[in-house]
Structure formats: C-alpha cells, structure tokens
Amino acid sequence: MPVRSPPTGSRDGYRLLIPDSRKAAGVAAFGIPSPPRSHTMTISSWDDFEQRLSSEESLHADSEPLDWPPSQALLLRLAERNANTLAAIAALEERRADIGEDDSPLMQEMLRLDAKLTAMVDIVNHLLVPAGTLPPRQSLRFNAAGALLPAMLVPPGGAVLLRLRFDACRSLPLELAARAERQLDDGRVFVAFAPQGEMLGDAIERLVFRHHRRKVAEARQLAG
C-alpha cells in the first residue's frame, strides 16, 4: 500500500489565527472548499484514506449527530479551534524530540524543565477536564482523510461531529465533521471528513506522522 510522505516545507500549518479582515472572507480564508451537497461521499474518500499513513490510537473520543452538509460557518469555527488545538499538541509533543540525548549540563537542565512543564500540563488537564468527566477511550484509526470508528460513535443518519482528545492536551479536543461512507466486515465504520483545507490537512498529517514515529521507536526499544 503506497504511503504518502509527511508534509514538508517552511509553512506553519498549525498556526492559523486569522485577522478580522480575513475572517470576513469566510471559510475561504482557511482554504476550505464548500462541503459536498449530496448525501453520499465520493468513493475516492476511502481510497484516499487507505493510501495515506494512518495512526491506530486509543483515545478519549465521543461524538454527536450533525446536520449534513455542515454549514460553512461551522466549518470555519471548527477550523479555527482545530488550528489552535493542533498547535498546542505539536508544541507539547515536539519539545522532547528537540532535547535529544545529549548528557551535557545544559541538556540535563532542559530535561528538568521539561519534566516540570509536563507536570504543569498534567495538572491543568486534570483541573480543566477531570478524569471522571472524560469520555471512554475508543480504539480507532485516523488520518487527514477520515477515520475508522467503532459503530457506537456513528449516530443514525451517519453524519457526526467527532471529538478526539489526545493525552498531551486533553482539555482541547480535535473536532471533525464527518459522514459515514462504508461499514467494514469487522463492524467498524469508515467516516470521511468534511473538507478542511490544505493547511489543516497538513497539520493532521504531521500529527499522524509524529505518533507513527513514536510507536516505531517504542517498538524498537522493546525489541532491543
């Protein structure tokens, strides 16, 4: 199965805070095309999903029914929130990779500061979203094109607002408008995400690549 390389380039696909002058342009400011007007996603959505690198996760996830097609106003609100969510997750997940394995005093001090930051993030997460209020963990597979979900997360009618909470920043969910496209033999349902624009798509692909790289590294450590 061909796998797309992670997005590259100098453009910052995470930080998409828009000045008021651009907000007036509506969804186009994020490069989000109009949502499809039919009730059936194109068959190419599944092919696109299968061809991309995807991440198998156990995440705190929930959903709610959604009118379809989603309005452009809703897509814009989701795009703004998701841009900030992805930026926060990236900042928290990438800081350790930047530290490396240097044993110098400076690196050791950075490791201590990193540990303190991790503790502070955990405290904030627990204060904002206590463990008892989190939705149950669900095993799912996702990338920028869509997700394979347990059937219980897909409401009757198939249109869904999916919320994914990542351990690095549980207080900020990634919220994705999607519609069921097909059901697999194992009972899982494939949902294709509504158009979200190139920049947010690239940010999700980078998230998927980081998680894939981390799992490969963990597997190598266990094997060694």
Going from the C-alpha of 150 to that of each of 137, 139, 180, 182, 184, the distances in angstroms are 11, 7, 11, 12, 10
Q: Strand, helix or coil at 78?
A: helix
Query: Which of 3-7, 78-82, 186-190, 197-201 has the lowest average pLDDT?
Result: 3-7
Query: Which of 13-27, 44-58, 64-78 has the lowest average pLDDT?
Result: 13-27
Confidence of residue 40 (pLDDT cuts 50, 70, 90): very low
Q: What is the pLDDT of residue 7?
A: 47
Greater confidence (18 vs 34) lies with 34
Going from the C-alpha of 22 to that of each of 16, 197, 202, the distances in angstroms are 11, 15, 21
Q: What is the pLDDT of residue 67?
A: 94
Determine the average pLDDT of the residues in 120-148: 79
Q: Strand, helix or coil at 74?
A: helix
CA–CA gap between residue 141 and residue 212 (Å, rounded): 12
Q: Assign 3-class secondary structure to 155-206.
A: CCCCEEEEEEECHHHCCCCEEEEEEEEEECCCCCEEEEECCCCHHHHHHHHH
What is this structure's pTM? 0.72
Instruction: Determine how many CB atoms are found less than 10 A away from the CB of residue 161.
Output: 19
Full DSSP string of 84-152 = HHHHHHHHHHHHHHHHTT--SHHHHHHHHHHHHHHHHHHHHHHHHS-GGGSPPEEEEEE-SSEEEE-GG
Going from the C-alpha of 214 to that of each of 94, 179, 197, the distances in angstroms are 11, 29, 26
Q: What is the pLDDT of residue 119?
A: 54
Q: Assign 3-class secondary structure to 18-65.
A: CCHHHHCCHHHHHCCCCCCCCCCCCCHHHHHHHHCCCEEEEEEEEEEE
Greater confidence (15 vs 129) lies with 129
Q: What is the pLDDT of residue 94?
A: 74
Cis before 136 (ω within 30) = no
